[in-house]
Amino acid sequence: MDKGKVWLVGAGPGDPGLLTLKAFQVLQEAEVILYDRLVSEDVLKLANPAAERIYVGKHEGEQHRRQEEILYLMLRLAHGGRNVVRLKGGDPMVFGRGGEEWRFLQEHGVPVEVVPGVSSAIALPALAGIPLTCRGYSSGFAVVSGHCREGEKQDWSRYARAETLVVLMGVKERSWIAGTLLDLGREPQEPVCFIEKGTTPEERVVEATLAAVARGKVEVLPPAVWVIGKVVALRQILLPAREGCHVR
């Protein structure tokens, strides 16, 4: 039997309208779909109805074990001649472990094709009225993971001087991260914004200051994209009719 193939596909931030045409085409032809926790049901509805769907979402504390199971599941399916779509929220190469999966499959002789997705790191701030770069406000930005391997902490000194910071998976450690950034010289009144469950009906936008986050005064639930920098202030100019949740 010929080997199957694996597509590493980005599902975007949740709204099916932000799925790429290439991703839609691949989903229509899939035989098996392995999908993550952040893939919306509306996106799954666009897939081949005859495709086998397997939920492979990870929960805290089981990431390493679960990831190894996913790798060998993809390998087994591909060696069985199945065409597999590994469907991930956002973009598979932005904190989606897509590079690890690609390398593993390549080492085992499985053909791989990447279908990039719209990353929540860029899409959600833009939709919330926060351009990550804007003359006079920010000439660049850094996208940083707020979550590291168990027992490790991010070295924020490498990113503290970035004009704009976009933090993914940082909700749980938000107070510690904010306090660390303050210790590294960022301004207490610097505006920040959390976009919680962006592009879904449950979307919630929370505006605050870095100092308020450090004091534990900002309530947010994951998943949320966290933007730190002067560009956050543009939200009140670009979307003046929308109300954020302001925390002093």
Extract the tokens encoding 94: 């932005």
Check residue 153 and give its pLDDT: 81
Phi, psi of 11 (to 5 degrees): -90, -5
Residue 176 has pLDDT above 90, yes or no: yes
Q: Which CATH number fits domain 120-246: 3.90.76.10, 3.10.180.10, 3.30.950.10, 3.60.21.10?
A: 3.30.950.10
Residue 46 has pLDDT above 60, yes or no: yes
> Same fold for the domain at 6-115 and the one at 120-246?
no
Residue 175 has pLDDT above 70, yes or no: yes
Q: Is 71 exposed, middle or buried (0-12, 13-18, 19+ CB in 10 A)?
A: middle
Neighbouring C-beta atoms of residue 244, cutoff 10 Å? 18
Once rounded to an integer, what is the mean pLDDT over residues 174-198?
98
pLDDT tens per residue across span 146-172: 987 666 788 999 999 999 999 999 999
Catalytic residues: 36, 58
The architecture in CATH of the region 6-115 reads: 3-Layer(aba) Sandwich (3.40)
First to last CA, the chain: 63
Q: Where are the domains of the chain?
A: 6-115, 120-246
pLDDT tens per residue across span 205-248: 999 999 999 999 999 999 999 999 999 999 999 997 655 454 44
Check residue 1 and give its pLDDT: 46
